[in-house]
Structure formats: C-alpha cells, structure tokens
Amino acid sequence: MTVRAAVAGASGYAGGEVLRLLLGHPEVEIGALTAGASAGMTLGQYQPHLLPLADRVLGDTTIDELGGHDVVFLALPHGKSAKIAAELGEDTLVIDCGADHRLEDADAWHRWYGGDHAGTWPYGMPELPDQRGVLQGAKRVAVPGCYPTVSSLALAPAFKDGLVEPEAVIVAVSGTSGAGKSLKPHLLGSEVMGSVSVYGVGGTHRHTPEIIQNLSRVSGGAVAVSFTPVLAPMPRGILATCSAALKPGKTIEDVLATYDKAYGDEPFVHVLPTGSWPTTGAVLASNAVQLQITVDPDLRRLIVVGTIDNLTKGTAGAAVQCMNIALGLPETTGLSTVGVAP
C-alpha cells in the first residue's frame, strides 16, 4: 500500500524528525509540508539535512493544504492542533505530536495548559498494557510527551504488577531540542554550553500530569509523582532515573521477572544485560528505549534508568510507530533500533 502523508509544522524539530523517518518509510509518499511564520520559504532553509525535500515550499497550515491526505502529522505548538484537527475528515488518520489530546482530565488540562480541553484521543504508547488494540484502526492518535515516554516505560511494569508503593521520584536529563526551535535566551549556545540547569522544579512541569495519568492507569489506583527535569548541554536525548519504594516481600528477582515478561518481546524496548547502563549516545536517532534495573538494598527502592532520543522515540518515532499500527502495517516499518555513533 502507498500512504500519502502531510506534515504540519515541518520547519520545527519534531516536524523535521517526522520527515526524516518518512523519507525512509517504504510505504509513504510525502505530500504537503506546512508551517506558520515559515510558510512560503523552502524546507531546506530550516531542515538542510533533508536533501530530497530541500526545494519543497512550505505552505500555510490550512485545511486546503492538509486535506486529501491519508495521514496528517501535526507537529504544532501546544494548543494549536485541535482547531485544524477538527477540520480534517474522519477518514483521515490524524496524529498529534503536541499535547492537545493526551490528557483525559479536563481540569488537568486547564491547570497545566490553559484554555479549552480539546478531548482525549487514543494514546500513542503501544508498549503500555492493552494499548495496541486501542491503536489498531484508530483515526486519531495522541503522541506521548518525551519525558512521559521514558518515565512511563521505565516504571509501568512495576506498577502494573504491584511491586512498588504508589509513589515515584523521577529526575530526567534532556537535550535542548525538547524546547523546540523558538528563540529563547536561556537556550543560546553561550548559555547552555558547559552548564547543566534545572527547570520546572517542584512539580510544575507540564508533563507531570501525563506521567501520573499513565502510571495510575496501569496500577489501577492513584500514583503520586515527583518529577524534576534537567537541561543538559546536548542537542537531543533523555536519560531518566526513576525510583519507587518496593512493597514488603518483593525482591529484585520479582522485578527482573516482571520486566522480562513485559518487554521480552517488544521490538523497541530493551532491558540491558546486568552491568550495562543506558546512555543517550547509544540511542541517538533511533526508536530504541534502553533500560537498566536495580534495587537499592538499604532503602529498598526500585531504580530504573532509561534513555531515549527525545525527537525519535520521544516524538516522531512514536508517531510513525502508531501510524503503522493504525494502518495495519508492520509496527517496525521505517523505524530502527540502530543508533548513530560517535
């Protein structure tokens, strides 16, 4: 089958990464490319690495440009996807890489993002329990946030099998591309190079309710989450250290058996051999998730370290993975676990 796909927000990091992956997808023909302020410019001015598309002119993000495609990827700022999505027909598969349709709780949306809640779409994390069935044949998909992706995959098996108490502490280090391409003084090279900084401290980062939503769903009850994001002087990648208190009687053997059961057959999630620890460099530009698991014997806390490329598995790779599932294509088509080194 040939799938004709459009990408809105093609000049940004997420849109560029979607296009990079679609260029290697054997079943996809790339149609309209749109942008906001960059409309009328060529894609090559913003994505010079996408040589096959460099001469394509970016259109306006309108229904006239995006209509008539089999798939539309919305790589737009938060709060901008809902309006254009509502104008696209029900026969079009719409994949939202933004936050507009991730949260189930309208009050949570108002608190963390503001404005009207656009509703909830099928959640695009196939590795969560029973989620592939929800995505099969779906016409609307909400791609998870990058921090929730690595944090949820790191801890979901433990919460699902009742190995840990209903609280989690997560500290995740991310590259600067997670903040998008908009000019921000604190993201200038001279500000970032040689410096590590925190932000969204004290439970104020917008991805917090999404992590809570995911872990609470798999656990069957409310889970409290303390989440601290850290900005590192690198372009892309996330390394998350996630911990939770083991319940009485649970052992490291129980934990390892649970994670083997959860991820033993997953194409993109890999629990590393004992003694090996995840690094952001190992997953660069791949759709892989790497995990390592241990237990602090003194505190009896489960510690899971996970890493992803925030632009690939954390955004665009998940979008393509969900497209494959929704359209009935092999899930791994156009995606790789092979990173780039050095």
pLDDT over 70, % of the chain: 100
pLDDT of 288 reads 98
Q: What SS3 class is residue 289?
A: strand
Residue 102 pLDDT: 97
Mean pLDDT of 1-21: 97
Distance between CA atoms of 255 and 291, rounded to whole angstroms?
13
Q: pLDDT tens, 219-273?
A: 999 999 999 999 999 999 999 999 999 999 999 999 999 999 999 999 999 999 9
Report the CATH number at residue 276. 3.30.360.10
Q: Is residue 340 part of a domain?
A: no
Is residue 225 located within the same domain as residue 323?
no
pTM listed for this prediction: 0.96
Q: Are residues 291 and 204 in the same domain?
A: yes
pLDDT of 291 above 80: yes
Residue 28 lies in a domain: yes
pLDDT digits (tens, 9 = 90+) for 75-124: 999 889 999 999 999 999 999 999 999 999 999 999 999 988 999 999 99
CATH code, domain carrying 43:
3.40.50.720
For residues 285 and 319, state if they share a domain: no
Instruction: Say if residues 94 and 140 touch (Cβ distance below 8 Å).
Output: yes
Mean pLDDT (whole number) for 326-342: 96
Q: How many residues does the chain have?
A: 342
What is the rounded CA–CA span in Å between residue 113 and residue 206? 7
Query: At 132, is the pLDDT very low, low, confident or very high (cuts 50, 70, 90)?
Result: very high
In a domain, 99, yes or no: yes
Q: What is the pLDDT of residue 186?
A: 79
Identify whether residues 127 and 172 lie together within a single domain: no
159 and 245 in a single domain? The answer is: yes
What percent of the chain shows pLDDT beyond 90? 92
CA torsion angle 11 12 15 20 (round to 10):
80
Q: CA 288, CA 232: separation in Å to the nearest integer?
A: 20
Tally of domains in the chain? 2
CA dist., res. 126 & res. 128, Å (int):
6
Given a cut of 90, is residue 334 above it in pLDDT? Answer: yes
Establish whether 97 is a catalytic residue: no
In this structure, are 127 and 219 located in the same domain?
A: no
Asked if the structure places residue 338 within a domain, the reply is no
Beta strands in the chain (DSSP E): 3-8, 28-35, 59-60, 71-74, 93-96, 140-142, 167-174, 197-198, 224-231, 238-245, 269-271, 289-296, 301-308
Give the whole-angstrom CA distance, residue 101 versus residue 82: 8
- Tell me, yes or no, whether 210 and 99 share the same domain: no
Looking at the structure, tell me whether residues 302 and 175 fall in a common domain: yes
pLDDT at res. 1:
79
Residue 110 phi, psi dihedral angles, 5° rounding: -60, -40
Residue at token pair 């309108």: 62
Tens digits of residue pLDDT in 151-199: 999 999 999 999 999 999 999 999 988 878 776 777 777 788 899 999 9
What whole-number distance in Å separates Cα of residue 193 and Cα of residue 56? 33
What is the chain's mean pLDDT, rounded? 96
Asked if the structure places residue 336 within a domain, the reply is no
Residues 103 and 190 in one domain: no
C-beta of residue 323 within 8 angstroms of C-beta of residue 71:
yes
The mean pLDDT of 12-35, rounded to a whole number, is 98
Residue 337 falls inside a structural domain: no
Domain assignment of residue 244, yes or no: yes
Same domain flag for 94 and 158: no
Question: Which residues does residue 72 pair with via DSSP β-bridges, in sequence order?
Answer: 6, 94
Which residue in the list 97, 146, 242, 322 is annotated as catalytic? 146
Task: For residue 17, give the H/E element and its range.
Answer: helix 13-23
Q: Are 285 and 191 part of one and the same domain? A: yes
Specify whether 135 is located in the same domain as 151: no
Domain that holds residue 23: 3-143+314-327
- Per the domain annotation, does 334 fall within a domain? no
pLDDT > 80? residue 17: yes
